């Protein structure tokens, strides 16, 4: 699996957009990743305790 250098920044930006009322799918599309990828990243962050 390839490493995404700005993965943390993308996760934070998506979370900010969701907090302002956007949907998960819309926020992910604007950032340029799939909803499934974001869900995986979110799960990885939660398991690592960095959410």
pLDDT of residue 51: 62
What is the rounded CA–CA span in Å between residue 34 and residue 30? 10
Residue, of 51 and 12, whose pLDDT is higher = 12
CB 14 within 8 A of CB 27: yes
pLDDT of residue 49: 81
Model pLDDT for residues 17-45, shown as the tens digit of each residue: 999 999 999 999 999 999 999 999 889 88
pLDDT of residue 3: 58
pTM: 0.77
CB 45 within 8 A of CB 15: no
Residue 48 reports pLDDT greater than 60? yes
């Amino acid at each position: 699996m390839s490493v995404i250098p700005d993965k943390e920044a993308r996760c934070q930006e998506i979370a900010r957009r969701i907090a302002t009322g956007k949907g998960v799918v819309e926020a992910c599309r604007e950032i340029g990743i799939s909803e499934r990828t974001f869900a995986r990243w979110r799960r990885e962050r939660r398991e690592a305790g960095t959410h």
